[in-house]
Amino acid sequence: MGERRADRLEQALREAGVRVTRQRAALLRVIADADDHPDAAELHGRAVTAGAGVSLATVYRTLTTLRAQGVIEKLEFQGEPARWEAADQRHHDHMIDLDSGAVMEFTDERIERLQAEIAAEMGYEIVHHRLELYVRRR
Amino acid sequence: MGERRADRLEQALREAGVRVTRQRAALLRVIADADDHPDAAELHGRAVTAGAGVSLATVYRTLTTLRAQGVIEKLEFQGEPARWEAADQRHHDHMIDLDSGAVMEFTDERIERLQAEIAAEMGYEIVHHRLELYVRRR
DNA sequence: CAAGAGCTGAGAACGAGTTGCAACTGGAAG
DNA sequence: CTTCCAGTTGCAACTCGTTCTCAGCTCTTG
């Protein structure tokens, strides 16, 4: 599945001087294969199931490392444990279905533009933002 | 200062069948007086300084109760402990200065409208949303 | 003013995430 | 290929914000 992608990520890490260990490679694979938004425990479970011996502590350490490398992104929704997603995609915001827990992605250029405008008016520039819509089917 | 406001809130609670105890009254006062966004420990500190004997556990319990009554709102910014604000104000979003930690408020009708539009397009209605701009002075 | 539903304080428990430390590797240098 | 060691790992202990347990209060209502 996401082997190509994982290989690419490994390469990027090596070039950044980050050691690609058995555990890190396993996690890269799991993350590249995920099309949802798993939390640390879930990622750990998947890696272990895939036959990789990894401890949860290492999963956390690795996630921190990968984030510092800009390879993955951390999502912190209200109350729940943090979730993660590969970062090599277009920017997008999230919509959370309160009933099913499903997380959907969306973007809207107009909103992006308005945000920048508002910040600029107050003398700031946006470093990063977070927009989450908690919704219910109708 | 915020005595009028606190009295109004007390009244609302009583009417909702919630007992207004010494501790709760003290917290209502502290919250009505706050013009910033304090976390539980900070609120506890202020209440104690104001001469009220309150335990931290009760602060948490009371915050939960007040929130259920719609009297206050919980803000969960990235990583930090939750912060609280009185809810009897117009809706607004937040802008966080990454350098000073200052939290500013803003609203933009256009953004609100776009959000509703986007949700509607996907067959959802917004129950609640969260928009935070993490910014830096320029 | 008796009674019990509702509150409270103190501390133990919890859950996600982090850290200290001794035992291990990647992978660069020889 | 080996050697070597800074970078990693596993485990257990720890942190920190928050919640829970439970015995003892305290409001209200009858």
Q: Tell whether B137 lies on the interface with A, counting CB pairs under 8 A.
A: yes
- Write out chain B's pLDDT in tens, 138 residues: 557 777 888 887 888 888 999 999 999 999 999 999 999 999 999 999 999 899 999 999 999 999 998 889 999 999 899 999 998 778 999 999 988 888 999 999 999 999 999 999 999 999 999 999 999 999
B124 with A136: Cβ contact below 8 A? yes
| Assigned CATH for B93-135 | 3.30.1490.190
CA-CA distance, B89 to A103, in Å (whole number)? 30
Q: Tell whether B57 lies on the interface with A, counting CB pairs under 8 A.
A: no
Query: Which residue in chain A has the smallest CA separation from B116?
Result: A133
pTM of the model: 0.89
| Assigned CATH for B3-86 | 1.10.10.10
Report how many Cβ contacts below 8 Å link chain A to chain B: 100
A118 with B131: Cβ contact below 8 A? no
On average, the pLDDT of chain A sits at 92
Q: What is the pLDDT of residues A39-84, one digit of tens each?
A: 999 999 999 999 999 999 999 999 999 999 999 999 999 989 999 9
CB atoms within 10 A of CB B47: 23
pLDDT at A133: 96
Q: What residue has its CA nearest to the C1' of D9? A: A58
Q: What is the DSSP string of A13-77?
A: HHHTT----HHHHHHHHHHHH--S--BHHHHHHHHHHTT----HHHHHHHHHHHHHTTSEEEE--
- Distance from residue B122's CA to nucleotide D11's C1', rounded to whole Å: 47
CA-CA distance, A34 to A45, in Å (whole number)? 13
CA-CA distance, B76 to A79, in Å (whole number)? 8
Q: Tell whether B76 lies on the interface with A, counting CB pairs under 8 A.
A: yes
| CB distance B71 to B86 below 8 Å | yes
| CB distance B84 to B63 below 8 Å | yes
Q: Of B91, B84, B102, B89, nearest to B27 (Cα)? A: B84
Widest Cα–Cα separation across chain A: 53
Burial of B9 (0-12, 13-18, 19+ CB in 10 A): buried
Residue extents of the structural domains in chain A: 3-86, 93-135
CA-CA distance, B15 to B73, in Å (whole number)? 20
pLDDT at B67: 93
